[in-house]
Amino acid sequence: MFWSALTFQLGYNATLVTLGATLLGVAAGVTGTFLYFRKRALVSDAISHATLPGVALAFIVMTMLGFDGRNLPGLLIGSAITAALGLYCVQWLSSRTRLTEDAAIGAVLSVFFGFGIVLLTVIQTMASGGQAGLESFLLGSTAGMLYSDAVLIAGGGALALALVVIFRRPMLMSAFDPEFARASGIDLNRTDLIMMGLVMGVTVIGLKIVGLILIVALLIIPPAAARFWSDRATNVVIIAGILGGIAGWSGASLSAVAPNLPTGPIIVLFAFALFAASMLLAPGRGLLMSALNHRRFQRAVHIRQGLVSLAQGQPIYEPLTLRLLQKAGLARADGVPTDDGRAQSSRVLRDEKRWEVARSDPAFEMAAARYDGLTQIEDVLTPDQITLIDTRIGAPSVVAQ
């Protein structure tokens, strides 16, 4: 069953919804990356919570005008209006008062959501309100979706994605290097507006499937996961889109075969699984690799420090240093260097001296910038340059002890 859903073989509606969720995931992942680089990930939380009063108001207005209150396009338009108002409140509070953006976000999301709840209870008391089913907007649901709704979501996802592709350059530039973007003639305010507009669009489209409480996860988790895989902004954007798409696709598919479970949480947990795998396993920034690197680095520092001390005949203070030297066969338990240790320490000392010369000579400034206390100077300078340095130091001396 799950497999048929994954391969789009579960009927027209389910296929459309899964397609919509996939497109939505890609669009959200990509849009979220710009937000992430601007360090404003949680603004989306305020926007999404602020949709609730809009949904409720739209239902009330449509019902009072004699239309079907559950008309999805109408509800989404309503949600977009209050989401925009919520976003405006966040901007206003954090720019015009002393409140920081996080406080403004928290205030807006709780107050708008609270007011939305008030409106929901009003709807429950309305004659036609009992079956409104607006609660499904909280956690998302794909069950019982109308054909037109599925088309709307798939189309909306495609549109959001298209807009992201069109505006990717200015958004990337202003997210990554605002000063440079401004100098290149990009209107930062307008780019921010487009970015926030896209965030709103993704939120509104995602309301029905993922629900307003969890839609932020699609904007936040894929970029954070993608960040582990690359240091290049463009790559992060693409990877985040892919990860978001996978989460949306597999989540919606699973939800299609388990209609009693809310869709939003399933998609979010898929996204988190991708995040956890990335955080653990990604090369470079992943936890496993950096833990190994850190350990290696710490040992290298201790051994180098110890060798320098040995070379200069100084006592070794740190038990860990001594233990590592001992283990590497460079020193005895009482701190006396072995033959190997003596040879290596004189080499380290010579390296230190060379660095000292290189770092004090403006001619080597470029190379000196790579000094980190561990890199061997042979890795940075040419043999000729080293010979030049050595003539200034004199012949390497062997440590006496």
Q: How far is the CB of 161 from other proteins (least distance, A)?
A: 22
CA geometry: angle 351, 352, 357, nearest 5 deg: 95
Alpha-carbon distances, residue 145 vs 12, 230, 266, 267 (angstroms): 11, 38, 17, 17
Spacing of C-alpha 49 from chain mean position: 21
Q: How far is the CB of 151 from other proteins (least distance, A)?
A: 27
Pick from 198, 351, 190, 206: nearest CA to 267 = 206
Largest CA distance in the chain: 99
End-to-end CA, the chain:
76
Q: Does 385 bind other proteins (CB under 8 A)?
A: no
Q: Does 266 bind other proteins (CB under 8 A)?
A: yes
Cβ closest to other proteins, residue 23 vs residue 219: 219
Cβ closest to other proteins, residue 113 vs residue 249: 113
Write the interaction track for other proteins spanning residues 340-369; mark x where CB under 8 A is met and - where it is not: ----------------x--xxxxxxx--x-
H helix intervals, 282-382? 287-311, 319-327, 339-360, 365-368
Binder among 2, 67, 180, 317 for other proteins (CB under 8 A): 317
H helix intervals, 167-262? 168-176, 178-183, 188-210, 215-226, 233-257
Binder among 19, 90, 93, 380 for other proteins (CB under 8 A): 93
DSSP-derived secondary structure letter, 334 = T
Residue list 100-129, contact with other proteins (CB under 8 A): 100, 102-103, 105-107, 109-118, 120-122, 124-125
Residue list 171-210, contact with other proteins (CB under 8 A): none
Cβ closest to other proteins, residue 165 vs residue 374: 374
Q: Does 294 bind other proteins (CB under 8 A)?
A: yes
Report the SS3 class of residue 30.
Answer: helix
Report the SS3 class of residue 74.
Answer: helix
Cβ closest to other proteins, residue 129 vs residue 245: 129
Cβ closest to other proteins, residue 78 vs residue 306: 306
**Which residues, other chains included, contact 126 with Cβ-Cβ below 8 Å and sequence gap of 6+?**
60, 63
Q: How far is the CB of 131 from other proteins (least distance, A)?
A: 16
Q: Does 289 bind other proteins (CB under 8 A)?
A: no
Q: Does 298 bind other proteins (CB under 8 A)?
A: yes
